[in-house]
Copies of this chain bind each other. A is one copy, B any other.
């Protein structure tokens, strides 16, 4: 019956943490079924299972082969799909669990961070036609040779969004332990407000800026195939946050949310000779240590003879980066290198930025009024990011959140 709606429901680890929670998730799927929907569920491993399996691997091996790590970790989701199918049967409905191999969720062969290449529809559609709720193991895939792969931590979201795309689902629901996406982390900003609707672009920038709500590739799938993603609580029936195609109404608000990313370090190199080859040497030396560099700023002075350069890296890479830059400083005669082993980055995100002027100015003013020094500023089309001292992070977040009145549902985020 192609006229029936189709919904993909994804349940994260905290939403399937024990038998009771599994039954709660099962009831939700059954309810959708009784409302005439065809239902595909995607489930993660129970609670902290994946962490425990990783710990077990580390006990056995200092450098576990990635192929075997994938064989190990995929068992967590396999346990969940079987239990979920049992719970739905117990509730009196038909269900079937499918591993990635059984479903035909094909990926490339890059173990521990494979990318989905193709999803077979035959088995899925055959089971749905039988009136069954289909339960798919998140996070896992299989390559052309039948090797077991995984899509990266948190990637059950991606499995769900990809399935929703392939099946042209009406919606992809992400059930989690929070009731939606907030204007800021509510643990840091108590008056943060739940966002009703947010664009894919804004959500991608939030993921990049450190908001751990959703896996970035899941958002990309939703965007590419125009599948609305509904992030909501597994505990209540309250509407959560709809991640969707940008609408004109969205631009009425300049800023949709502010995020704080901590555990960063910043390095500023003062007075290096302005030589493009030297810049390339600097970043290729750093890349050799698999350090992800962000927010590079550079300015030239002394009639184009000399340059200052600054960039941000994960705090855990700070010691290694210090060694590299100090060595290059000696070899190439930099005037000085400043290391900030702990900095934070506050980002304001909103598609409204495109049409509202004065957003950056208002953000800088808010930080200045709060007496917070800005080390670095980076901007893109819908994001403004300010690097501040680590201790200032939470206060900076609140200052920007307040300045744009994000806790106020009316007229919120206006730059004027």
Contact = CB atoms under 8 A, between A and B. Distances in A.
Interface string A10-39: 000000000100110000000000000000
A19 B86 contact: no
Most buried by B among A19, A63, A79, A87: A79
A71 interface: yes
A146 B142 CA distance: 14
A150 to B, nearest CB: 12
Interface string A270-293: 000000000000000000000000
User: Number of contact residues on A: which range applies?
Assistant: 35 or more
Contact of A83 (B60, B86, B97, B101): B60
Query: Could you tell me the dominant secondary structure of chain A's interface residues?
Result: helix
Interface string A47-82: 000000100110111111101110110110011011
Given A60-B19, A71-B97, A65 B89 contact: yes
A94 to B, nearest CB: 10
A9 interface: no
A307 interface: no
Interface of A: 19, 22-23, 53, 56-57, 59-65, 67-69, 71-72, 74-75, 78-79, 81-83, 85-87, 89-90, 96-97, 99, 101-102, 146-148
25 contacts: A23-B60, A53-B79, A56-B79, A57-B83, A60-B87, A60-B90, A61-B89, A61-B90, A62-B90, A65-B85, A65-B86, A68-B83, A68-B86, A68-B89, A71-B82, A71-B85, A71-B97, A71-B99, A72-B78, A72-B79, A72-B83, A74-B78, A99-B148, A101-B101, A102-B147
